[in-house]
Amino acid sequence: MSNDDRIPVLELPLERDVFMRNLIRHLSGTLQDVVGLEEASGFVSVVGQHVGEEINSAYCNALHVDSLSREQVSDVLVDLKRRILGDFYIIEEDDEKIVLGNRQCPFEDKVLGRPAMCMMTSNVFGVISSQNLGYSRVELDKTIANGDAECRVVVHLKPATEGEKSVGREYYHV
């Protein structure tokens, strides 16, 4: 084979990060198409639970604590998303809930039309908050995946009271 037969160096939007985001997009899309959104979300949730447990352990170890306070949980949720190039920020927080906004999904445009991918955020946030605070219920109020301009995620720290509408996915410390 001569050098003339070799392809030239090309400018392509192909590197590990883009490849991995595309891979996850296509995996979640295939799951959504084959088994439906609810089941696909369930599969992504299992992965998110494992990732949440690993991230929680990493932060607790790095901070040399057995568990995080509510303030530390809020900081960790924002920090972990910042590390993976999300743009999460605290809108409001108190002993009842942590409300977060997000201007940039870590999956970027690969999340559009793939709401099952949001289960990763739900589960990571739910696992971290419940493992440290005993309970959480994560409500994905708005998501970029569904076409909203920004995400709005509410992490409820207390179970819904009788008569209160319980929206979201619940997580318990095990």
Provide the CATH number for the domain around residue 142. Answer: 3.30.1380.20
- 17 within some domain: yes
- 4 within some domain: no
Instruction: Render pLDDT for 107-156 as a digit per residue (tens, 0 to 9).
Output: 999 999 999 999 999 999 999 999 999 999 999 999 999 999 999 999 99
- 136 within some domain: yes
* Residue 54 token pair: 């690993």
| Residue 112, domain extent | 12-172
CA distance 113 to 110: 8
- Count up the domains in the chain and report the number: 1
- 2 within some domain: no
**CA distances to 46, 56, 109 from 53, in Å:** 11, 5, 27
Instruction: Render pLDDT for 39-62 as a digit per residue (tens, 0 to 9).
Output: 988 888 899 899 999 999 999 999
- 123 within some domain: yes
Q: Could you tell me the pLDDT band of residue 2, with boundaries at 50, 70 and 90?
A: low
